[in-house]
Structures are given as structure tokens and as C-alpha cells.
Amino acid sequence: MPTVLITGANRGLGLEFARQYAADGWTVIATARDPEAATALQATGAEVHALETNDPAGLDALQVALGDRPIDVLIANAGMLGPQAFDRAGWAEALSTNVIAPTELAIRLKDNVLASQQRKMIALSSTLGSIAGNDSGGLLAYRSSKAALNAAWRSLSIDWKDMGLALAMVHPGWVKTDMGGPGAQIDATTSVTGLRNVIAGLTPSATGSFLDYQGNRLDW
């Protein structure tokens, strides 16, 4: 069976990805900042590794643990909303978490993905990162970080196009998680079911796409 690696899998969408892929019989490698506290994740049967995605030493340790194991689908899911209003330190943390960390993860684990059958990399982005779609303002840190994530991963998709990799930036919908809040439009099961279909249908020719959980192409 294929192998998926998911970051930030102790709650929210990451946990739902782990649940669904595990239920389908995939080998699930999941990361959490505190694996011992990640009881729901442990219950999925996933192989859990400790990872604070902003910590290069943690990434070193993950790479050592993985060695040259193939990863069919890499899901850079861990992310944060950041401050609502201007805050220099909070903005910098959001940029590190939402842009630099997932991009570093992709670069570091590229050879593991290349060694697999499916060769896919997915970044959890957001329509809030769409500049064309921004008609309501606010959320400086989150919007700019997801826009920059799209720019960085679009570049990776072009740089790695000849390797047969398929990269996609995906919008999960507005989802009832800690981040999305209870008033969000859809539940995590619906979102992840849709995203897994989108991922299953992703081909190298579509690399660099920005897609929602129903497979619709989104404006940058």
C-alpha cells in the first residue's frame, strides 16, 4: 500500500487525513509537536513522529528516522492563523510556519517522494491567500503567508517539473476545526474526503495547480 506523510496531524484536518488514509490501509507517517499527547492520532495506528516544523533540528531527526523510505504523498498541513491585527513577531511566526517550514519540508523530503510510485506533494493553502479573491481585507499575516506559500510551491513545481513530481496547493473549504471555528461551512470529513479525491486524481501534467476540495481551479 502507498505511504502518506502528514504534518500537524494531532487535530483538525491533519488528524482527519490520518484517519481516512489509515482506514484505507495506507501506511501513515504522521507528525505532531507532542506525540504523547496525540492520543486520537495514536488511535489511528499511524506511525507518529515528533516535529515542530519550524525547528531544523527536528527536521534533521525526521530525515534520519525516514532514511530513504519512499513517500507517495507528502501533505504539508501544519499551519497557523497568526495575529488578526499588525504584530511584527506574530507575522514573522506565521510566515515561518505557513511558508518557510512547508517549503523546507518539501525540499528536504523530495528524494523520498521521488523514490515512490505516486510522487505527489500537497500544501494546505487557502483562498484567503488569493490576491484576486481578496475583497474583504484584514488577516495580514495569514493572507500574505498563504499567498507566499502559493508563490514558493508554484516555483518548486516548475523547478521540479521534469522529475515527474505532482505538486498542488489546495484549499480545504471553510472547515469546522479549531482554526475554522464552529460556524464554518463544512466538517473535516467532507473536506478531507474531497481533498483525497483531488489528490488521487492529480497528475504530473497538473503540477503547480491551486485547487479547492472539489477539484475547482482557483484564482491566484
Ligand X SMILES: NC(=O)c1ccc[n+]([C@@H]2O[C@H](COP(=O)([O-])OP(=O)(O)OC[C@H]3O[C@@H](n4cnc5c(N)ncnc54)[C@H](OP(=O)(O)O)[C@@H]3O)[C@@H](O)[C@H]2O)c1
Contacting residues toward ligand X, per CB under 6 A: 8, 10-14, 33, 51-54, 77-80, 97, 124, 126, 171-172, 174-175, 177-180, 184
Angle value at C-alpha 202, between 219 and 61, nearest 5 degrees: 100
Q: How far is the CB of 60 from ligand X (least distance, A)?
A: 15
Q: Which is nearer to ligand X, 33 or 108 (CB)?
A: 33
Q: Which is nearer to ligand X, 37 or 158 (CB)?
A: 37
Q: Which is nearer to ligand X, 95 or 114 (CB)?
A: 95
Buried b (16+ CB within 10 A) or exposed e, 106-126: beebbebbeebebbbbbbbbb
Q: Which is nearer to ligand X, 79 or 117 (CB)?
A: 79
Q: Which is nearer to ligand X, 1 or 43 (CB)?
A: 43
Q: How far is the CB of 28 from ligand X (least distance, A)?
A: 15
Q: How far is the CB of 85 from ligand X (least distance, A)?
A: 18
- Contact criterion met (CB below 8 Å) for 169 and 207: no
Q: How far is the CB of 117 from ligand X (least distance, A)?
A: 26
Q: How far is the CB of 40 from ligand X (least distance, A)?
A: 11
Kindly write down the DSSP assignment for every residue of 48-108, as one continuous string.
EEE--TT-HHHHHHHHHHHTT---SEEEE-------SS--HHHHHHHHIIIIIHHHHHHHH
